[in-house]
Copies of this chain bind each other. A is one copy, B any other.
Amino acid sequence: MRFEVLVLGNSSATPMYDRHPTSQVINFNEQLFMVDCGEGTQMQLYRYGIRSNKISHIFISHLHGDHYLGLIGLLSSMHLVGRKTDLHLYGPVGLDEILAVQFKYSDTQIRYNLIFHPTNPDQAEVLFESNSLKVSSFPLTHRIPCTGFRFDEAPRPRPLRIADAQRLKIPTAYYPLLKQGIDYTAPDGTIYQATDLTDPAPASRSYAFCSDTIRTPNYLPYVQDVDLMYHEATFLQELVSRAKETYHTTAQEAAEIAVETSAKKLLLGHYSARYKDLQPLLEEAQAIFPATELSQEGIWYLI
């Protein structure tokens, strides 16, 4: 089952060098979720061949422009191309007011349901849950209220050994139950144990999005053990005091957080405009956490 993240923007607030402000698309089994929506996101979606109408949920971390200014244009274009399906929008209180005033002056009545869910910047919350996926928010510490987001795949089915099940003449209707670990009792009373007929389930996958935040231990409990962590790395460690002043993180700090939370892989982003060459950020992080990559726009990363 596909579980990947496409980075549409990896720049911090002043976009340069054809880097764009923050936005990502998460594809979970062909359902698309967006995280943040900086200016120009709709053009980035077009560039990378993503149909906006496949996006069902949008999560906005905070109300600095480089994380949401593309939202109103994207919502308007969804309207213009005839979207009919509901769109769920999660973000800080105030985002609704920002949208409302712009829809008012442009005299726009969008033709699909836009359902706004305010996020809580003070405590973790489950925002979305289906049979196969859960999305939660958790507090980050930035200059204004800000949350990160965590995507957790539900426990995955146990792969069935079909040849064995067929040989034992177990009705196919029971296969899904066996995959869930439920034993099968035959009409003659024989019990066939699910663990004997299935292999162990592959581990459930998880993704954490951490941008923007100062380094603090507060959010670490919410991002433990993820398969992929996206973490902002606005500065090099030599500018750690600048990072603290602006409530951002350095590449070294991001790597240390990945170590402390036992992440399997780390993806850096939210690069300051002062860095045209990003290699030093990568090297600084890899010295501490080797499984680090620089996020690049237009690339799908496996979770």
Q: Which residue of B14, B40, B47, B63 is within 8 Å of A39 (Cβ)? A: B40
Chain B nearest Cβ from A68, distance in angstroms: 9
A106-159 contacts to B, CB under 8 A, are 106-107, 143-144
Whether A46 contacts B15 by the Cβ 8 Å rule is: yes
Q: Is A16 an interface residue (CB 8 A)?
A: yes
How far is B13's CA from A81's CA once the two chains are assembled, in angstroms? Answer: 10
Whether A65 contacts B14 by the Cβ 8 Å rule is: no
Instruction: Please encode chain A, from 233 to 265, with 1 for each CB lying within 8 Å of some chain B CB and 0 for all others.
Output: 000000000000000000000000000000000
How far is B73's CA from A105's CA once the two chains are assembled, in angstroms? Answer: 19
Chain B nearest Cβ from A238, distance in angstroms: 20
One of A92-100, A184-192, A194-202, A277-285 at the interface: A92-100
Whether A13 contacts B77 by the Cβ 8 Å rule is: yes
With A39-B42, A70-B39, A101-B97: A13-B107 Cβ-Cβ less than 8 Å: no
Whether B69 contacts A73 by the Cβ 8 Å rule is: yes
List of B residues within 8 angstroms of A81 by Cβ: 14
When C-beta atoms are compared, the residue in chain B nearest to A46 turns out to be B16
List of B residues within 8 angstroms of A77 by Cβ: 13-15
* A positions within 8 Å CB-CB of B: 13-16, 18, 20-21, 39-40, 42-43, 46-47, 63-66, 69-70, 72-73, 76-77, 80-81, 92, 94-95, 97-98, 101-102, 104-107, 143-144
| A-B pairs, 5 with minimum CB distance | A94-B105, A63-B105, A40-B40, A39-B73, A65-B76
